[in-house]
A and B are shown apart, each in its own frame.
Chain A
């Protein structure tokens, strides 16, 4: 470097020190402004590049999930069918023990007759009746039957006329339920999803023993998912260890075997398990052939929890192996050697030196498998029979068959909360920044 160059640099440094104000670039603009200008193009390009993904996530992810959460609270079935009644009933004080006033009955009967006449799609008396039926089982026919005759009631007293149509209208609890349901926003579906309900006094209580199905299934889903995760871990750990220590050629071959399930259709894999596990299937045949069991006492291994667990362990195994492998790959063999040179036995060295270093992989693997398992749907549906069902199967049922979308949404929202709670717990225990997926 020439002497003059050193001089100029020295001068500039001095100038900056003397100025003491904001730094100025060579052309006189403030340095920060100059910097922002030069990086603006880069930032814009980066933003535009990510734009398609951001849009995709918003459209296909954020909006549907938001709608689902909303749907769990929002059900306008009553107010759609009976707009005037759902406003009028708000004035009724149900705590007095009296039935609603004659005016409210008049509006109700007129609304009912009008709805029957109009028959707008999605806003029929049937829709409303179904909504009330969720909370008051057996009340559906009361609405549909009365709606047909409501048009004939042209003058009061409407209350007596309605009771004359059907004695069941003289029921305080029915009107209380109607008032509750005429509110568009409700927690009834969340209560139902948690096996709870409003009792006749309007308090929240647990549902009757016979109707408690969702919480037990949610618990079973969690329990089976935990079991599947544990089994995956026990099987994957040695495999991942082998993969990370074998020579490259051998470990590549083994890795292909691990990845092979990824390249086969989920349905094919699940069906293969049906062929393996059914009572006339391969495994039972081998057991009978070996004389381990008699021909008449073949083991039921499919269409129950066993079938669900076995096939899901198989399907989710790669999600455990891969994070474990990627962590183990980074642990040099010298750690174990060092431990042994200091006097540690194999077991001791493994426990104190190797295992703790694989915890980030274990954390990632278990979190991945557990969360995937909780939401699993196809496999339990195919091989789970009736007692190997997961909560997702019930959600699908409500969305596709019973068309009780609000209850399905409430269940799905509860599942989402459970997953988030587990994620939060994981973050507290392990630290999400320590997760290593590969």
Chain B
């Protein structure tokens, strides 16, 4: 589960027991607790309908929390209207005002704050330089490319120097290449300005590339909140293991636990060793998670887990070969085989031995899916 920090004074954004329901029948957000430190880049990652966007809207003030309290800099903000929260926001489709030029769009938050015209101009010029769009000041948003619009939207959310910026799937409308480029740009802006960023996305690459910490949402609950590395290396439950990166599943029953290593019996009788992460005791059913790149074909003798499977399909990908195998009745079992000169030729239909270390295999909560 989420690593629970006690609510300290240092946290900048704090959700306390927040619940949200739209219709009074279904909880979209169930008892959310979340602390975000000042200057942190936190991403809310999850499939659509998991409640991540709702959390962002509650933080921005566009949706009231049904229960619980949200704190900003230790100030409860449930009753503060959005325009008084001073939070910058980037919207999914940018929401650049189509009837204003780029410069007018950027000056809008300054104009609202009653800044003098010359100060507005200076500030707009400065921020346009930052996103390298100085030549575009007098264009309308519709005359810009998707990437340029995106930059203007980011610039607009930053121009009034908020301490907190929310981004709601800001890269969703861009093509893959541009998206990757923008990821780095946003990351650099965050590093240079030191603002706190709360970012919502359903794209895990985006989340893993940019964030200090990632909160994985599912079913209105944060399944795990940790750094990108530990999400991938140490998933706390089957959902996270399955959602982040590629994953092989093997279901079995725990027979014995010694020093954090479980012995798990598969339905076909094979005994495997696996690190205990999210199983309580002997006799429990468990789903084991195993990353495809940690599996070795023709493992050396003495490897903790060795099992035989049949090769179903080979996909040549240049740097590696994806091998789909049938292992212990699971024919979606993927093994990544490095492309080496001394590799023996693989054939579909062949039987092959595969093996992995006990530490690379995590015994997690049982899921039938």
Contacts and interface: CB of A to CB of B under 8 A. Distances in A.
B49 interface: no
A348 to B, nearest CB: 6
A342 B60 contact: no
Given A341-B60, A342-B112, A334 B91 contact: yes
Nearest to A356: B99
Interface string A318-355: 00000000000000101101111111111011001100
A428 to B, nearest CB: 19
B89 interface: yes
Nearest to B81: A340
Interface in B94-118: 95, 97-99, 108-109, 112-113
B93 A352 contact: no
A345 B82 CA distance: 9
Contacts of A337: 60, 62, 82, 89, 91, 95
B326 interface: no
B194 interface: no
B88 interface: yes
Given A348-B112, A357-B99, A338 B91 contact: yes
Contacts of B166: 341
A343 B160 contact: yes
Given A332-B93, A335-B97, A343-B113, A352 B108 contact: yes
SS class of chain A's interface: helix, strand, loop or mixed?
helix
A334 B95 contact: yes
A345 B83 contact: yes
A383 B259 CA distance: 96
A334 B92 CA distance: 9
Contacts of B18: none
Contact of B89 (A341, A345, A348): A341
A289 to B, nearest CB: 43
B86 interface: yes
Contacts of A339: 97, 108
Nearest to A335: B95
B291 interface: no
A341 B61 CA distance: 9
Contact of A344 (B83, B85, B98): B83
Nearest to A352: B108
A78 B85 CA distance: 83
Interface in B39-98: 60-62, 81-89, 91-93, 95, 97-98
A342 B88 CA distance: 6
A342 B113 CA distance: 9
Contact of B86 (A332, A334, A338, A343): A343
B156 interface: yes
B82 A357 contact: no
Nearest to B89: A341
A339 B105 CA distance: 10
Q: Which residue, A337, A353, A357, has most C-beta atoms of chain B within 10 A?
A: A337
A349 B81 CA distance: 14
Interface string B233-276: 00000000000000000000000000000000000000000000
A332 B95 contact: yes
B156 A342 contact: yes
Q: Which residue, B60, B82, B86, B89, has most C-beta atoms of chain A within 10 A?
A: B82
Interface in B8-42: none
A61 to B, nearest CB: 37
Contacts of B109: 342-344
A333 to B, nearest CB: 9
Given A334-B92, A343-B160, A345-B83, A357 B98 contact: yes
B324 to A, nearest CB: 30
Contacts of B112: 342-344, 348
A121 B121 CA distance: 80
A25 B201 CA distance: 52
A334 B93 contact: yes
Contacts of A346: 83
A337 B82 CA distance: 8
B89 to A, nearest CB: 4
A429 to B, nearest CB: 16
A317 B99 CA distance: 27
A353 B95 CA distance: 11
A341 B93 contact: no
Nearest to B96: A338
A343 B89 CA distance: 11
A311 to B, nearest CB: 36
A190 B166 CA distance: 68
A358 to B, nearest CB: 10
Contacts of A352: 108
Contacts of B99: 356-357
A313 to B, nearest CB: 29
Nearest to A344: B112
A349 B83 CA distance: 10
Contacts of B82: 337, 340-341
Nearest to B62: A337
A377 to B, nearest CB: 38
B114 to A, nearest CB: 10
A139 B343 CA distance: 120
Interface in B158-203: 160, 166
A341 B92 contact: no
A339 B156 CA distance: 11
B176 to A, nearest CB: 24
Contacts of B157: 341-342
Contacts of A348: 112
B210 to A, nearest CB: 21
A338 B87 CA distance: 10
Contacts of B108: 339, 342, 344, 352
Contacts of A356: 99
Nearest 8 Cβ contacts at the A-B interface: A342-B109, A338-B95, A341-B89, A334-B95, A340-B82, A343-B112, A340-B83, A334-B91
5 contacts: A335-B97, A341-B85, A341-B157, A343-B160, A357-B97
Interface of B: 60-62, 81-89, 91-93, 95, 97-99, 108-109, 112-113, 156-157, 160, 166
Given A337-B95, A340-B62, A343-B160, 16 more contacts: A334-B92, A335-B95, A337-B60, A337-B89, A338-B89, A338-B91, A338-B95, A340-B82, A340-B83, A341-B85, A342-B157, A342-B160, A343-B112, A344-B83, A346-B83, A352-B108
Interface of A: 332, 334-335, 337-346, 348-349, 352-353, 356-357
